[in-house]
Amino acid sequence: MRRFQSRLIDGSMSVVFAFVAVLTVILLLGIFLFLVFNAVRALQTIPLQDILLSANWNPVSYTKPVWGILALALGTLIIVLLSLLVAFPLGLLTAIYLSEIASVRSREILKPLIEMIAGVPSVVLGLLGLLFLAPILANIFQLSNGLNALTASMLVAIVTMPSIASLCEDSLSELPRGLRDASFALGAGRASTIIHVLLPAAKSGIAGAAMLGLGRAIGETMIVLMVAGNSLSVPRSLFDAVRPMTATIAIEIKEAVTGSMHWSALFVIGLILFLLTLGLNIIVDILVRRRIHT
Amino acid sequence: MRPSRVFVFVFVTALLSGCATPTASVVPVDSAGTSVVIQGSDTEVQMVANLAEAFTADHPEADMSVTGGGSAVGIAALINGVADIANSSRQMTEEEVALAAERDIDVQEFIVARDGLAVVTHPSNPMKELSLEQIGTIYDGTITNWKDVGGPDAPIVLYGRQSTSGTFGFFRDVVVKADYSRDMRQMEGTQAIVDAVVADKNGIGYVGVGYIKDQSANDTPTLNVLLVRSGESEGASPLDREAVLSGKYPIARAIYQYMPSLPAKDSLAHQFLLFEASEAGQALVEESGFYPMTVEDAAQNKVLFDAIQ
Amino acid sequence: MKRHTPDRLFLNLCRLAAFLCVSILLAVLILLIIAGGSVITWSFLTQTWQHQAIESGGIAQAIVGSAIVGIGVVLLSFPLGLGTAIYLTEYSRENIPKRLIELAIRNLAGVPSVVIGLFGLAFFVHGLKFGSSLLAAIATLSIMTLPWIIAASVEALQSVPRKFRDSSFALGATRWQTIHRIVLPAGLQGCLTGAIISMARAMGETAPIIMVGATFYLTGFPHSLSDRFLALPYHTFILATQHAHPQAQSYAAGSALVLMMLTFLLSSVAIGIRYRIRTRKVW
């Protein structure tokens, strides 16, 4: 009897756990469906090229509302590229240090510290950008105002860097010891080993890290909300004020009446962001056969 | 059972159960009870928060929450049914009122204060006065250099609000009369505009007079408040109470609050409106940097109060 | 020697990079203290927000709001996350459903916070009619923390040696008995570290709560889950960008500092537990 009871419980528990696990799939699907459901009104009414190819975003226009997201997308692009330009080398070199150069004790201390950077809320970085970085950069570059793509990118680089460093470090430390030993045996120095042997061996992991950083930078909202300058024009230089897609959603969603065209158009932007990060994640999956990583 | 069969079974069950619609509504907007949710204009948020604070001092059972976000946010919240009072620094448009009516919302208008919208520049900027038309052409992007309006040879950096803002809408409809230049930097709130123009020697911005009321008292002002002239009359300052209330200052406006229906007699919302219209309330309005309502405003409000009785 | 110089250069470059990272962290902390340290007093931490005279009020409501959100999020997402992790490590085989779930988890982790906020707004606030409330915020943020908790729990459970399970099965225990008597107790500390770190990160999120329930002025404290609430990150944001008081930005920095301290405290607890596991647990 006891045996039967415990087998019954065992059977039911496995159902429960499977059910819970499936929840994540349902959640992701649900998010996608909700985005589509709310975006469909705009997608059906506004011609696609007016959305994707027009640089005029003016939902509450004096004359006629226009829904072109090109300027917003370019804003996202310029910030993402600029921040990756800084975060990727920084993250990679730090990862190399952690994995190949640091002593065990240094690594024990440094790894958590770098993780803590990931824990800094982006609103805090935005605040520090407002208070310190923007005036400093305005001074250095003789600008009248430090709220622009450059300032925002530097701060976004700070939030992006820990994920890149973490994934690169994992990729490097997973490489078999034999690689290093063989390289040293052939007489190569540490730096040559790293550059010519290890990095190429870990290249898919490193590329994956870059993609992950890209996704993180695309999704950053608070920093760009506070320091990117919020101008709707197409960015022509690093020093222009921009308004990326994420900031647009965060700013305008609250003034949109549920179900209105404005509401729907913002969901279109949300859908685009969702698909972008989904696509990047799939690429990372292909590149890096990794265990569940954040 | 094999886990994969379990998986299929569970997946299907989950999908089917997900189709069930939830019944109870968790949060009805409680306009008859002890909580008042106020949302909307950033121009008004400080003032209304001050008023709410003073009101709760006398009515400790009252549960008030005041959030900014912009007039359009408040109006949307009103139409979406999640706010009891919407602060708006511009009048609701006919389309908005109609949309509300479609959702069985009978919009009620209340005027709580008057405001002058100041146009500000950096203290180092020698410009002292501009005409309404000039400001309009600056903000729609036609004029891009200070020298075209008689100032130094420097590019004009435009600061304004975001489309969520009633001030954005009001300034556009009354001054710019066209779409804003795309280069205008859309700041999150009036304070952000103030901070930006204080730091930017080529900047120009528009701010509610409450945010700059300390300027005239300052020996070393951090902002330069432009005189605005309209038509043939001489330039007036938004800090000049008479000019604002009489209409001589051309960028003057009423500050509104909207309700989704006639507040119940003696409900918290009703009492709060009475408090705002009272002497104590209006004194607080002035302290918060606005101008008190005019006689005509009070008359319009009286119609509302009479309807409640 | 010539051959060693480029070597040394590269190695030093890497050291420099690591050093830069640490200095960024320190700089953030130091700058915050400079900007906001002066406003942190006991009354600042314990008083409710006084709108007209912000020097006399405090951020108690924001602290409480953030705490409720953090705790609520963990209460909601920890069981679900742990359950998923248990399924993945103990029950599932290397088949398509498992790959699908893992794919879903990784992608969920990558969804931008503002998109999750959009979903929360459409689904919890309007769809399920939670309204702009603590409940909606907790539910929305739980979506974000779920993947983090799953990742940490999977790692913790996988580190429990196989031989534990094998011995248990050999003795005739069912899978569930093995899990709840052997594997879970052994791995729980690791799972909790994940939960604590996720709580810290959820408390720092701003974009989703802007969209689903945070407010700036509130009489008293929230009484129920359907109330609006104050939260530290939103409070910081508003003070930094929209408040007219000349000291507003110092108070913003003060709120941010309190938020950072809370985050650091939680992270240190988590790291401490993790260190203890690493050094004490010998199996």
Dig out the tokens for B227 from the structure: 């005189």
What percent helix, strand, coil does chain C show, rounded to 5?
Answer: 75, 0, 20
Cα–Cα distance for residue pair B144/B167, rounded to 1 Å? 22
CA separation, residue C150 to residues A122, A186, A277, B75, C135 (Å): 23, 43, 20, 40, 22
Q: What is the pLDDT of residue B27?
A: 36
A22 touches B: beta carbon within 8 Å: yes
Residues of B with Cβ-Cβ distance to A244 under 8 angstroms: none
Contacts of B131 (CB under 8 A, 6+ apart): B228, B229, B230
C210 at A interface, C-beta within 8 A: yes
Q: Do C93 and B65 touch (CB under 8 A)?
A: no
User: Count of CB atoms within 10 A of residue A258's CB?
Assistant: 18
**Residues 140 through 169 of chain C touching chain A, CB cutoff 8 Å:** 143, 146-148, 150-151, 154-155
Q: Is B142 helix (H, G, I), strand (E, B) or coil?
A: coil
Give the closest residue to A127 by CA, choosing from B22, C24, C32: C32
Residue C22's H or E segment, with its range, is helix C4-36
Contact A121, C205 (CB under 8 A): yes
Q: In B221-250, which positions are buried (b, 16+ CB within 10 angstroms) versus exposed (e)?
A: ebbbbbbbbbeeeebbbbbbbebbbeebbb
What's the whole-number mean pLDDT along residues A288-294? 53
Selecting from A102, A220, A226 the residue whose C-beta is nearest the C-beta of C241 gives A226
Residue position matching structure tokens 């389309």: B95
Minimal Cβ distance to B163: which of A56, A59, A234: A59
**Beta bridge pairs of residue B108:** B259
Q: In the prediction, which pLDDT does A79 show?
A: 95
Residues 6+ apart with CB under 8 A from A284: A208, A211, A212, A215, A290, C106
pLDDT of B26 reads: 33
- The residue length of chain C stands at 283
Per-residue H/E/C for C241-259: HHCCCCCHHHHHHHHHHHH
Mean pLDDT over C249-276 rounds to: 88
Counted across chains B and C, CB pairs separated by less than 8 A come out at 93
pLDDT of residue C3: 55
- In the predicted structure, residue C54 carries a pLDDT above the cut 70: no
Per-residue pLDDT tens, chain B, 309 aa: give them: 344 444 444 444 433 333 333 333 333 344 446 788 999 888 888 889 889 989 988 888 888 888 888 888 899 889 988 889 999 999 998 889 998 998 889 999 999 999 889 999 999 999 888 999 999 999 999 999 999 988 899 999 999 998 888 889 899 999 999 999 988 999 888 888 888 898 888 999 998 887 787 666 666 778 888 888 887 778 888 888 888 888 888 888 999 999 998 888 888 889 999 999 999 999 999 888 889 988 888 899 999 888 887
Of residues A93 and C278, the one with the higher pLDDT is A93
Mean of pLDDT over chain A: 88
The stretch C190-213 carries a mean pLDDT of: 90
Tokens 């069985």 belong to B104
Cβ of C50 within 8 Å of Cβ of B53? The answer is: yes
Sort out which chain C residues have CB atoms less than 8 A from A219's CB and list them.
110-115
- Residue A229 to residues A280, B172, B199: CA-CA distances in angstroms? 27, 20, 14
Which of A19, A60, A225 minimises the CB distance to B163? A60
Strand partners of residue B186? B160
All residues of chain A having their beta carbon less than 8 Å from the beta carbon of residue B178 are 62-63
- Contact with chain B for residue C129, Cβ under 8 A: yes
Residues in chain B: 309
Q: Round to whole Å and give the CA distance between A48 and A27.
A: 28
Q: What is the pLDDT of residue B242?
A: 84
Does position A290 have pLDDT exceeding 60, yes or no? no
The dihedral built from the CA positions of residue B135, B141, B143 and B144, taken in this order, carries a sign that is positive
Six token digits for residue A138: 């305005």
DSSP label at residue B68: E
Interface predicted TM-score of the whole assembly (ipTM), two decimals: 0.89
Question: With pLDDT > 90 as the criterion, what percentage of chain C qualifies?
Answer: 31
Distance between CA atoms of C197 and C214, rounded to whole angstroms? Answer: 22
Chains in touch with C (≥3 Cβ pairs < 8 A) = A, B
> Angle A203-218/C96-110 helices, nearest 10 degrees?
50
CB contact (8 A) between residue C83 and residue A130 = no
Strand partners, B206: B119
The tokens for A292 are 């569940």
Q: Which of A12, A145, A234 to mutate to test the interface with B (most CBs of B within 10 A)?
A: A145
Q: How far apart are the first and last CA of chain A?
A: 45
Rounded Cα distance, B191 and C243, in Å? 6
Interchain pair B201, A58: CB under 8 A: no
Which residues, 6 or more positions from A182, have their beta carbon under 8 angstroms from its beta carbon?
A: A197
Contact assignment for A233 to B6 by CB distance below 8 Å? no
CA distances from residue C94 to A74, B262, C87 in whole angstroms, order as listed:
41, 63, 12
Indicate yes or no: CB of C223 within 8 angstroms of CB of B210: no
Question: How far is the C-alpha of B287 from the C-alpha of B301, rounded, in Å?
Answer: 21
Q: Are A147 and A76 in contact (CB under 8 A)?
A: no
C28 touches chain A (CB under 8 A): yes
Give the C-alpha distances (Å, rounded to integers) separating C225 from A131, B242, C7, C73, C133. Answer: 35, 48, 60, 12, 7
Residues 146-185 of B with CB under 8 A from A: 157, 162-164, 169, 172-173, 176-179, 181-185
pLDDT at A75: 93
Mean per-residue pLDDT over chain C, rounded = 86
A 71-90 → B contacts, CB under 8 A = 71
CB contacts < 8 A, A to B, total: 108
Q: Nearest by CB to C241, from B189, B210, B211: name it.
A: B189
pLDDT at A183 exceeding the cut of 80: yes
Residue C71 main-chain phi, psi, to 5 deg: -65, -45
> What phi and psi, each to the nearest 5 degrees, are found at residue C137?
-65, -45
**Which distant-in-sequence residues (6+ apart) come within 8 Å of A137 by Cβ?**
A143, A146, A150, A151, A154
pLDDT digits (tens, 9 = 90+) for A16-72: 888 888 888 899 999 999 999 999 998 888 888 888 888 888 888 877 888 889 999
What CATH homologous superfamily does A66-293 map to? Answer: MetI-like (1.10.3720.10)
* Residue of B71, B191, B212 to mutate when probing chain C, most C C-beta within 10 A: B191
Q: Which residue has the tokens 């920890």?
A: C78
Tell me what the mean pLDDT of segment C38-55 comes to: 73
Distance from CA of A218 to the nearest CA of C (A): 8
**Residue ranges of domains in chain A:** 2-45, 66-293
| Touching C: A residues 145-184, CB under 8 Å | 158, 161, 165
**Alpha carbon distance C99, C116 (integer Å):** 23
Interface of B with C in 185-214 (CB under 8 A): 187-192, 194, 210-211
Q: Which of A101, A117, A216, A220 is nearest to A169 (CA)?
A: A101
Mutation site, A10, A34, A120, A227, interface C, largest C CB count within 10 A: A120
User: How far apart are the C-alpha atoms of B17 and A293, rounded to whole Å?
Assistant: 30
Ordered structural domains, chain C, with CATH: 60-280 (1.10.3720.10)
CB of A270 less than 8 A from some CB of C: yes
Which pLDDT score is estimated for B31?
42
User: Could you report the per-residue pLDDT of C63-111, keeping only the tens digit for each?
Assistant: 888 999 999 999 999 999 999 999 998 888 888 888 888 888 988 998 9
Q: How open is the CA angle A120-C37-C29, to the nearest 5 degrees?
A: 30
